[in-house]
Structure 1
Amino acid sequence: MKAMAGSRIRWRGTEYEVVMIQEMSALLRHPGGGEVEVSVDELNRAAEPVATRRLHALRDVFVDGDELAPELRIWQEAIERIRGASDAFGLKDKAVAEEAARLAGALGRSVSPRTVYRQLQAYERDGLRGLLDQRKSGAGAGRSRGVDPRVVVILNSVLALRSRSSTVSKAAIIAQVRREIAAAHGDEIKVPSDPTFYRLLDEEDRGRFSFGSAKTREALALAPEGEFGRRTALRPGEQVQIDTTRLDVMVRIDESTIGRPELTIMLDVATRSILAAVLRPEGTKSMDLVVVLARALVPYARRPDGARETRQLVSTAWADEALIEQERFERLREAQPFIFPETITTDRGRTYLSRHFRAACETLGISLVTAAPHTPTDKPHVERTFESIASLFLQYAMGYVGRSVEHRGRDVESQSEQLLTIAQMQELLEDWIAVEWQNRSHDGLRDPLHPTIMLTPNEMCRAFRQVAPELHVPLTREDFIALLPVVQRRINRYGVTIDHRVYDSKRLAEYRRRESPAKSKQGRWPIRVDPYNLHIVWLEADGEFIPLRWANDVHEMPMLGDVWRYARDEYRSGGSRRDDTSDLVDAMRGFAAKGNPKVAARRKARAAVVAADPMNPTSVARSEVEDASDLAPAITDVAAPEVWPHSGGFALTNDDIDEVRRRLEE
Structure 2
Amino acid sequence: MQRPGVLRVGDRVIFAGGAHTVVAITGTVIRLLSTAGQTTVVALGYLLAAEDFELVGAAPAPKVDPLGLLETLPEKVVKAARTWERHLIEVVTGVAPDAPEGALPRREYDPATQSLAARQRAKAAELTAAGTKTSVRTVERMRQRYREQGLWGLVDTRYARTVKPAGNVDARVVAAAAAVVEAQTATSTGTKSRAIRQLRQVLDDEHGPGAVEMPSRATCYRLLEALSAGKYTFGAATTRRQTANKPPRPYAPTTASRPGEQVQMDSTPLDIMAVMDDGVIGRAELVLAIDIATRTICAGVLRPFGAKAVDAALLLARVTVPEPMRPGWDAALAMSASRIPHQRLVSMDTRMALAAAKPVIVPDTVVIDHGKVFLSEVFLRAATTLGISVQPAHQQTPTDKAIVERTFESINTLFCQHVAGYTGRDVTRRGSDVAERAVWSLPDLQELFDEWVIAGWQSRPHDGLRHPFTPDQAASPNDAYAALVAAAGYVPVALTGADYIELLPADWRAIGDSGIQIDYRTYNCAELRPFVRKNSGVSSRAGRWEVHYDPYDVSRIWVRNHHQGGWITVPWTHHNVVGQPFADFTWRASRKIAAQRGLDDTNEMAVAVILAALLRRADEGPGSGRVLARTRTAQAMGNHLPLELNTAALVASAEPEPPANPQPVLADTEPEQDEPPVLVGEVVPFALFDPFADDLEAGR
Partner of 2:676: none
Q: Which of 308, 320, 323 is residue 297 of structure 1 equivalent to? A: 320
Partner of 2:280: 257
Matched residue type, 2:82: Q
1:171 aligns with 2:175: no
- Name the CA shift for 1:465/1:120 in 2 (closer, same or farther; >3 Å): same
Aligned equivalents of 1:136, 1:439: Cα separation in 2: 57
Partner of 1:376: 398
SS of equivalent to 1:283: coil
Partner of 1:45: 49
Matched residue type, 2:484: F
1:76 aligns with 2:66: no
SS of equivalent to 1:299: coil
Q: How many pairs does the alignment contain?
A: 513
1:364 aligns with 2:370: no
Structure 2 residue runs of 5 or longer lacking an equivalent are: 6-10, 19-39, 54-59, 92-107, 109-118, 339-354, 581-614, 625-689
- Name the CA shift for 1:140/1:115 in 2 (closer, same or farther; >3 Å): farther
Partner of 2:70: 61
Partner of 1:400: 422
Q: Which of 438, 444, 451 is residue 431 of structure 1 equivalent to? A: 451
Partner of 1:277: 300
Matched residue type, 1:95: L
Aligned equivalents of 1:330, 1:27: Cα separation in 2: 70
Aligned equivalents of 1:327, 1:458: Cα separation in 2: 16
Give a deviation string over 1:52-109, Cα, whole Å, max 9, x none: 9x9795235359xxx99465235534774698798899983783596569xxxxxxxx
Whether contact under 8 Å (2:277, 2:618) holds in the other structure is no
Whether contact under 8 Å (2:271, 2:283) holds in the other structure is yes
- Name the CA shift for 1:346/1:554 in 2 (closer, same or farther; >3 Å): closer
- Name the CA shift for 1:272/1:257 in 2 (closer, same or farther; >3 Å): same
Partner of 1:329: 333
Offset of residue 423 of structure 1: 0.5
Alignment of 1:70-109 (within 5 A): 71-73=77-79, 76-77=82-83, 80=86, 92=124, 95=127
SS of equivalent to 1:262: strand
Q: Which has the higher helix share?
A: 1
Partner of 2:103: none
Offset of residue 433 of structure 1: 1.4
Whether contact under 8 Å (1:82, 1:92) holds in the other structure is no
Matched residue type, 1:243: D
Offset of residue 567 of structure 1: 12
Whether contact under 8 Å (1:491, 1:525) holds in the other structure is no
Matched residue type, 1:410: S
- Name the CA shift for 1:509/1:169 in 2 (closer, same or farther; >3 Å): same
Aligned equivalents of 1:56, 1:189: Cα separation in 2: 44
Partner of 1:245: 268
Aligned equivalents of 1:352, 1:444: Cα separation in 2: 27
Give a deviation string over 1:457-485, Cα, whole Å, max 9, x none: 22222222122212412111211122234
Offset of residue 143 of structure 1: 4.2
Whether contact under 8 Å (1:96, 1:117) holds in the other structure is no
Matched residue type, 1:58: L
Partner of 2:202: 180
Whether contact under 8 Å (1:530, 1:537) holds in the other structure is no
TM-score by length of structure 1 reads 0.63
SS of equivalent to 1:436: helix
Matched residue type, 1:270: A
Aligned equivalents of 2:289, 2:404: Cα separation in 1: 8
Aligned equivalents of 1:291, 1:238: Cα separation in 2: 20
Give a deviation string over 1:217-254, Cα, whole Å, max 9, x none: 22222232222456642322222221111212111112
Aligned equivalents of 1:396, 1:456: Cα separation in 2: 21
SS of equivalent to 1:547: strand
Matched residue type, 2:445: M
Matched residue type, 1:293: L
Aligned equivalents of 2:52, 2:462: Cα separation in 1: 40
Whether contact under 8 Å (1:502, 1:552) holds in the other structure is no
Aligned equivalents of 2:623, 2:75: Cα separation in 1: 75
Matched residue type, 2:279: S
Aligned equivalents of 2:70, 2:362: Cα separation in 1: 60
Matched residue type, 1:59: G
Whether contact under 8 Å (2:545, 2:559) holds in the other structure is no
Matched residue type, 2:67: L
Whether contact under 8 Å (1:58, 1:129) holds in the other structure is no
Aligned equivalents of 1:437, 1:490: Cα separation in 2: 46
Offset of residue 259 of structure 1: 0.8
Whether contact under 8 Å (2:313, 2:382) holds in the other structure is yes
- Name the CA shift for 1:3/1:168 in 2 (closer, same or farther; >3 Å): farther
1:457 aligns with 2:473: no
1:207 aligns with 2:230: yes
Offset of residue 278 of structure 1: 0.7
Aligned equivalents of 1:133, 1:340: Cα separation in 2: 67
Aligned equivalents of 1:292, 1:335: Cα separation in 2: 19
Offset of residue 420 of structure 1: 0.9
Alignment of 1:116-135 (within 5 A): 126-130=149-153
Aligned equivalents of 2:256, 2:154: Cα separation in 1: 52
1:473 aligns with 2:493: yes
Aligned equivalents of 2:297, 2:236: Cα separation in 1: 30
Offset of residue 294 of structure 1: 1.3
Whether contact under 8 Å (1:487, 1:529) holds in the other structure is no
- Name the CA shift for 1:282/1:41 in 2 (closer, same or farther; >3 Å): closer
Q: Which has the larger radius of gyration?
A: 1
Partner of 1:23: 13
- Name the CA shift for 1:258/1:499 in 2 (closer, same or farther; >3 Å): farther
Whether contact under 8 Å (2:268, 2:286) holds in the other structure is yes
Give a deviation string over 1:272-328, Cα, whole Å, max 9, x none: 222111111122222222211111111124xxxxxx5xx42xxx5xxxxxxxx6323
SS of equivalent to 1:261: strand
- Name the CA shift for 1:122/1:399 in 2 (closer, same or farther; >3 Å): farther
- Name the CA shift for 1:265/1:571 in 2 (closer, same or farther; >3 Å): closer
Whether contact under 8 Å (2:276, 2:618) holds in the other structure is no
Offset of residue 500 of structure 1: 12
Matched residue type, 1:164: A
- Name the CA shift for 1:572/1:258 in 2 (closer, same or farther; >3 Å): farther
Offset of residue 131 of structure 1: 5.2
Aligned equivalents of 1:360, 1:189: Cα separation in 2: 61
Matched residue type, 2:547: P
Aligned equivalents of 1:244, 1:89: Cα separation in 2: 78
Aligned equivalents of 1:153, 1:210: Cα separation in 2: 16
Whether contact under 8 Å (1:134, 1:140) holds in the other structure is no
1:445 aligns with 2:465: yes
Percent sequence identity is 33
Aligned equivalents of 1:149, 1:335: Cα separation in 2: 64
Give a deviation string over 1:553-584, Cα, whole Å, max 9, x none: 989xxxxxxxx9999649989xx9x99999xx
